Each structure stands twice: as C-alpha cells, then as structure tokens.
C-alpha cells in the first residue's frame, strides 16, 4: 500500500489491517492487542482454524479472547466439509462488511497466504471442475501415492509442483484436476486477471516474521502446551468421526502424528517430535510465501515489547488517517 493524505473530493476506501505470518509467530496475540486498542474485529484467515473440531491443535483463540473482542470465522465449519479459498473470501468479505457497519476496524489474521492474496485481488477465473474428475484425482493419488502423484503434477504443471511438497495433497490434487478439466495448468490460471473486482478497501499489511531460532522454539513450546491442554483427546474425538482422510482437517499438523500415538505405532515423545518437525516445515513454507508474495507495510522480527507495541500503534494511527492510492 502506498499511503497519502486525503484530498478534498476523493472517495475514502474503508480500512482493513492484515496481520500475516507463519504459525506460532504471535499473530493472534498482536491482533487481540490491536482489537482492544482500536475497536477491532478479528477475522480468521487460517485455513485450519475454520474447523470446529480442532480448537487446541490449530491454536485458535481461547474462549476468553473471543469474549474480549469480536472474533469471526473461527471454528465455523465441521471437519467433514472443505473450505475453498473462494468460500473463505465470501465469508471474510461478509465479516469485513459487518465490522465496517458496526464502526469497527477489521483485522484479518492468519498464515494462509493464498487467502490473503484472494482477499485483496479476487480469484482467478478457473472453470468448474466436474465431481467425477475430482473423484478421479483422489483415486489416482491414493493408488500411486504422494511422491508419484507430485511427479504426475510436475509433468503437467511444473510451476505448481515446484512450490508444493508431496504432502500437500489438497493443492496437488487441485492442480491435477484443473488441468484434467481444462487442459491448462493451474499456475497459468493463477496468472490470469481475477474474475472478481478487487476488494473495496485499503489495506495495511503487518508481517510478523520472527527469526528462525525464536520461531522454532515457539513452535516446540506451543506444542507442549497443546498436549497439556488436551490435544490428544481432541484428536481422539476427531478420529471417532471416521472422516475421509483426504479432508483438510485431517491434514492439520499434529493430527497424523497424535493419531499414530493413539494407534500405538509411535511413542508420545516421537509423535510430538514428528509434529513439531511438520509444523516447522509449514512455517518455512509460509515464510517463503510471505517473502515472495506479500508486500509488507510493516515487518516485525523482534519479540513483543512496550517500545515495539507503541510503534505498531503509531503505524495503525497513521494508516487510519491516510488513504490508499
């Protein structure tokens, strides 16, 4: 965003503050402080925190935090459903409009970079994929396994395959099915102009990007707290639902690892170590996305402090007194 002072007669677009960053970076804590200070509504932009079954394991805000300031789009969908970027964008815009109507500042918070992108720019005009092709893609993935399936995607869409690990089942299947339906790689669709108009807002983007050693320590400490807070029982209840293993909620960091512990194939220590490794890998991919896809207006790398907090508040005040181009 390039900010400038308002001039007479120019329309003023309403403000949205985006707080982006990797998992465990402290985004929710920052959002809560800003919401308290600026009469804000916190709007979730994390693809796993939309599912109601995994409050602990996805580090959703606590009930006390949700009671302190308005929170939207947390735990709103059952794990049996899939939340696409398009569906999330429609829900997010509704929540943003609700906040504006109430005279509150929308604070969009999360680590799902693609959600941030489609919020601002809209979605590329990808045609509908028939249900039978979607089912075929899932069957092929199950038959040949994740590594060979990623190789199959690389043969038709090398750009998409290059940025996705073999474990990112949902996005790899999406790339395969879009090519199967249209004959055009998903990466090429994404380079086309969005079919929708950009969001009618001006954005200030804060990126929370701790140094790697601090982030890794935070990930490990947070997972220990999750175990103490009941993550194992949470996964046990999720498994009892007997959901399709390909659903996004079943891919949340820690689900597979704690499921292995519950099934007796991993010790608790081994499961925790595997889950923290998986979470660090997610954080690394999120940081890569942020570096290449997000133009930050303010980047935070230090730990929370009174001086830092004062600087953030001053940044928000300046943003609220200016308009975007």
Token pair of 274, please? 């595997």
CB atoms inside a 10 Å sphere around CB 13: 14
- Where does the chain show beta strands of DSSP type E? 3-4, 15-20, 40-44, 71-72, 105-110, 202-208, 298-300, 323-324
C-alpha 123/C-alpha 103 separation (Å) is 28
pLDDT in tens, 50-62: 999 999 999 999 9
Token pair of 125, please? 């005009």
Full set of structural domains in the chain with CATH: 14-123+194-324 (3.40.50.300), 131-191 (1.10.20.140)
Contact between 21 and 209 (Cβ < 8 Å):
yes
C-alpha 25/C-alpha 15 separation (Å) is 24
Which pLDDT score is estimated for 195?
59
C-alpha 143/C-alpha 127 separation (Å) is 26
pLDDT in tens, 122-154: 877 777 788 888 889 999 999 999 999 999 999
* Chain position carrying tokens 């979605």: 123
Which pLDDT score is estimated for 194?
62
| Residues in the chain where the model's pLDDT stays below 70 | 1-11, 193-197, 302-307, 323-325
Which pLDDT score is estimated for 234?
98
Which pLDDT score is estimated for 209?
92
């Amino acid at each position: 965003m390039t900010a400038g002072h308002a001039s007479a007669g120019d329309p003023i677009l309403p403000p949205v503050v985006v707080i982006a960053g990797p998992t465990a970076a402290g985004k929710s804590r920052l959002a809560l402080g800003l919401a308290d200070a600026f009469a804000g509504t916190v709007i979730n932009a994390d693809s796993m925190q939309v599912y109601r079954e995994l409050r602990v394991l996805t580090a959703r805000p606590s009930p006390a935090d949700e009671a302190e300031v308005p929170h939207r789009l947390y735990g709103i969908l059952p794990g049996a459903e899939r939340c696409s970027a398009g569906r999330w964008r429609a829900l997010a815009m509704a929540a943003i409009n609700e906040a504006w109507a109430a005279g509150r500042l929308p604070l969009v918070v999360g680590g799902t970079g693609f959600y941030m992108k489609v919020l601002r720019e809209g979605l590329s005009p990808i045609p509908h994929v028939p249900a039978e092709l979607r089912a075929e893609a899932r069957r092929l993935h199950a038959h040949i396994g994740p590594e060979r399936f990623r190789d199959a995607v690389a043969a038709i869409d090398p750009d998409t395959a290059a940025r996705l690990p073999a474990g990112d089942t949902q996005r790899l299947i999406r790339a395969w099915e879009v090519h199967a339906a249209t004959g055009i790689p998903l990466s090429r669709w994404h380079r086309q102009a969005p079919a929708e108009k950009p969001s009618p807002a001006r954005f200030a983007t804060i990126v929370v990007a701790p140094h790697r050693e601090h982030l890794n320590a935070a990930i490990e400490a947070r997972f220990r707290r999750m175990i103490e807070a009941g993550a194992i029982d949470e996964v046990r209840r999720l498994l009892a639902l007997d959901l399709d293993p390909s659903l996004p909620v079943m891919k949340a960091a820690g689900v597979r690892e704690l499921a292995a512990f519950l099934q007796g194939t991993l010790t608790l220590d081994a499961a925790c170590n595997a889950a923290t490794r998986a979470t660090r890998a997610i954080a690394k991919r999120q940081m890569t996305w942020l570096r290449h896809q997000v133009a930050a207006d303010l980047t935070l790398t230090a730990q929370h402090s009174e001086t830092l907090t004062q600087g953030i508040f001053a940044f928000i005040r300046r943003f609220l007194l200016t308009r975007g181009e």
